[in-house]
Amino acid sequence: MVWLYTSQFSTPQSQVEIDQLVAGFAAENKRRNISGFLISDGRSVMQLLEGPEGDTEVLKGKIQADERHLNVTTQLWSNETIRAYPHWSLRAIASSEYEALFSEIESANFVTLATSIAQMLFDATFDP
């Protein structure tokens, strides 16, 4: 399954805090064969998660109930089988690095429906 959502941190996070959170999440994801990325500017979040149906659905429920962020809005929930991010348990990306991310996605030819939607939503999610 693929889940792409946007949300806002309940409390603004520094890049160091985000990197610490993501390191912990990545270790969990690795155990469950889940991959993806988390883009944040310290306030807004856009996260892509992809993995086996059961584990991805359980994690989706936990993240939706997590009070560390608000306004969790599903942008895509689909039974896509091609992964854009098979080699990343969870990659943290600062919103200022997004152009590099999307050009990397395009040049590696791993554009999927989820990465296309993420690119389209970028400007609406993060202030320029």
Ligand X SMILES: Cc1cc2nc3c(=O)[nH]c(=O)nc-3n(C[C@H](O)[C@H](O)[C@H](O)COP(=O)(O)O)c2cc1C
**Which residues would be at the binding site for ligand X (CB under 6 A)?**
25, 28-29, 45, 47, 49, 59, 62-63, 66, 68-69, 90
As measured in angstroms, the least distance from the Cβ of 53 to ligand X is 16
Q: Minimum CB separation from ligand X for residue 90, in Å? A: 5
Match 């856009």 to its residue by tokens: 46
**Minimum separation from the CB atom of position 115 to ligand X (A):** 17
Closer of 11 and 107 to ligand X (Cβ):
11
Dihedral (Cα; 103, 104, 107, 108), 10-degree rounding: -150
Residue 87 C-beta: closest distance to ligand X, Å: 15
Distance CA 119, CA 57 (A): 23
Q: Residue 59 or residue 105: which is nearer to ligand X going by CB?
A: 59
Closest CB to ligand X among 90 and 118?
A: 90
Helix H segments across 7-128?
15-31, 53-65, 98-107, 113-125
| Cβ closest to ligand X, residue 56 vs residue 112 | 56
Radius of gyration, alpha carbons of the chain: 13
User: What is Dmax (Cα atoms) for the chain?
Assistant: 37
